[in-house]
Amino acid sequence: MQSGDNVTLGGRDRGPPACSACFLSPVTSPWQHPDRAVARARSVLITGATSGFGEAAATRLAASGAHVIVHGRTRRRAEAAAARIRARSHEARVDVVAADLSDRLAIDALAAEVRTRFPALDVLVHNAAVVPRRREATREGLELQFAVNHLAPMLLTARLLSALRARPGARIVVVASQVERDGHIDFADLQSQRRYDPYAAYRQSKLANVLFTRALARRIPGCCPTVNCLHPGIAGTRVLNALVGRPDWMQRWTAYREPTADTQAEPLVRLVLDPALDAVSGAYFRELEQRPPSDRSMDDVTGERLWAVSNSLLGLPSDWADST
């Protein structure tokens, strides 16, 4: 199935993507940082912004003038990251929030706090991810990677979508990975109860990120907010180190040879700020360039099935993005 095909599930014709040209016409214009006034007008929430790509992007965005809301699993870690950001940019506008994204009640509380404290939210960046080496479950019995990497972005988006829709030019950015091309949505064992392979579970969650991006974009008319995802590049982040199981000594050794998260944060900064992307939605970016995702990511029938199953797991109505 091609990206512009109609999608029918449960007798309902989804039609072509709301911004079908955005799915099919790659953005090829060179990326240049916009005027500082553009960044200053942005209020950006980044989940998992206490290390790696998240913190690096938050640092760059704050230095550009954007108001950055740093999310961490604990307030202590979020405050520590905010202090590092302020140390690098003394005029940085940084606030912090904290929540355990494996806990649905905590996500609900996070969304309520954001709506109250930051009603003018312009950009929601889903960056947080986990890669436990052994299978872990949430209090609801969900496999941790599937819950944090996929379901948490979906639930947080559902809770904040009405606020984002009220902001002209609002954006949702999902940090995926190029490993989505090797992913497989195992509907018979979504929670990896029969067999847990951390890398396979990670690939599944990253494929789910791209499928979610496209499914949500199909439901939002007028590209407000836009919804895009990206593979930011390879860097020696905590997620990568956990994924490949590097011991501490190897992490120190490879730190001198791999790109750092700081140098690889530019693609995420672009998706937050670039005016050329104002009308681009449902797209996949590999670093700074818009690229077609894998064939599996463009399987919209699988995407609609995952949408339905995920909503059921979260207790969300299937039309939450349509009716908000």
Q: How many CB atoms lie within 10 A of CB 203?
A: 21
DSSP 211-275: HHHHHHHHT-GGGSSEEEEEE------HHHHHHHT--HHHHHHHTTTSPPTTTT-HHHHHHHH-G
| Single-letter residue type at 292 | P
Contacts of 252 (CB under 8 A, 6+ apart): none
Helix/strand/coil for 80: helix
Please name the residues in contact with 246: beta carbons below 8 A apart, sequence gap of 6 or more. 254
**Which residues are identified as catalytic?**
202
Distances (CA, A) of 83 to 99, 280, 320: 18, 34, 37
Helix (H) or strand (E) holding 58: helix 52-64
Largest CA distance in the chain: 56
CB 200 within 8 Å of CB 305: no
User: Residues 135, 136, 138, CA angle at the centre, nearest 5°?
Assistant: 145
Alpha carbon distance 220, 91 (integer Å): 35
d(CA 47, CA 265): 14
CA distances from 175 to 108, 153, 221, 257, 286 (A): 21, 10, 22, 23, 10
